[in-house]
């Protein structure tokens, strides 16, 4: 009796690819979530340890604790194979008052920030982070100012105070830009590997002679120069196929 062959060996390449794809995707996703979980655990453990050191060294809440926190966080890069290429870092060490702003991308921002953070730098963060156990505690001990973004009046009041300080004290704004993480960290594609982050400290943007009414234009200037730098550092084109950030839609 003739036999109907339902399965050929070796299987066609396309069929083999289809059979192997789900396990490969599952493996990559599992690896991604494992690294994220390890990162969160590392944050909790290091925050708890750093909190003890901060209490022993300074006795409580003070911006001086940031130097201790910085030492702990800077160790993270060795666990994940993250390399930093820094430019212009000396602009943050003039011992003069300034406001530092940076671009936000992911949970890895913290590592980049601590790489260039100067002494006595007071940070602003959303209030929800205060309730994240040891992480919230160490941020509190580091003198972080927490604002309630859901309560518009509180958030605006805090930002208005910063804006008034800018124009009254002639405090310059120093933008700090990190290149894109997408080549090694991509939650959508479940990618989390080692990689390099370029960090560039831009020239100070002066606020001397400005008034409160000039703040919107000042912020737009900061945003524009930061976008341009981001595309350059990341070797990316914008949505219109050029390196010109002004052609990007306003976000």
Residue 33 in any domain: the answer is: yes
Residue 7 in any domain: the answer is: no
> CA-CA distance, 90 to 95, in Å (whole number)?
11
pLDDT at 197 over 90: yes
Residue 5 in any domain: the answer is: no
Residue 43 in any domain: the answer is: yes
Enclosing domain of residue 205: 20-247
**DSSP characters over 154-205:** HHHHHHHHHHHHHHHHTPPEEEEEE---TTTEETTTTEE--EEEEEEEPPPB
Q: What is the chain's mean pLDDT, rounded? A: 80
What pLDDT is attached to residue 212? 75
Residue 40 in any domain: the answer is: yes
Whole-number percent of the chain with pLDDT over 70: 75
Residues 6+ apart with CB under 8 A from 116: 86, 89, 92, 176, 199, 201
Q: How many domains does the chain have?
A: 1
Confirm if 194 and 82 have CB atoms less than 8 A apart: yes
| pLDDT band at residue 126 using 50, 70 and 90 as cut-offs | confident
pLDDT tens, residue by residue, 78-98: 999 999 999 999 988 777 778
What pLDDT is attached to residue 64? 92
Q: Is 95 helix (H, G, I), strand (E, B) or coil?
A: coil
Residue 6 in any domain: the answer is: no
pLDDT tens, residue by residue, 112-121: 889 998 888 8
Residue 220 in any domain: the answer is: yes
pLDDT at 34 over 80: yes
Residue 28 in any domain: the answer is: yes
Q: DSSP class of residue 242? A: S
What pLDDT is attached to residue 78? 93
What pLDDT is attached to residue 159? 59
């Amino acid at each position: 009796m003739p036999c109907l062959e339902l399965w050929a060996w070796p299987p066609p390449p396309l069929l083999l690819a289809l059979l192997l794809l789900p396990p490969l995707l599952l493996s990559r996703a599992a690896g991604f979530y494992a690294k994220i979980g390890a990162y969160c655990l590392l944050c909790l453990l290091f925050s708890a340890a750093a909190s003890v050191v901060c209490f022993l060294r300074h006795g409580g809440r003070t911006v001086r604790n940031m130097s201790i926190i910085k030492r702990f966080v800077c160790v993270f890069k060795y666990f994940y194979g993250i390399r930093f290429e820094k430019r212009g870092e000396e602009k943050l060490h003039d011992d003069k008052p300034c406001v530092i702003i940076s671009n936000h991308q992911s949970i890895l921002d913290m590592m980049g920030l601590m790489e260039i953070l100067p002494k006595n730098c007071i940070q602003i963060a959303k209030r929800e982070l205060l309730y994240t156990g040891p992480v919230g505690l160490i941020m509190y001990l580091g003198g972080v100012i927490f604002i309630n973004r859901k309560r518009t009046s509180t958030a605006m009041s805090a930002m208005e105070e910063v804006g008034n300080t800018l124009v009254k004290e002639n405090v310059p704004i120093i933008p700090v830009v990190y290149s894109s993480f997408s080549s090694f960290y991509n939650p959508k594609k479940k990618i989390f590997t080692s990689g390099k982050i370029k960090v560039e400290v831009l020239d100070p943007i002066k606020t001397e002679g400005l008034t409160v009414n000039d703040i919107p234009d000042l912020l737009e200037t900061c945003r524009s120069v930061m976008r341009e730098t981001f595309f350059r550092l990341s070797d990316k084109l914008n949505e219109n196929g050029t390196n010109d950030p002004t052609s990007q839609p306003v976000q």
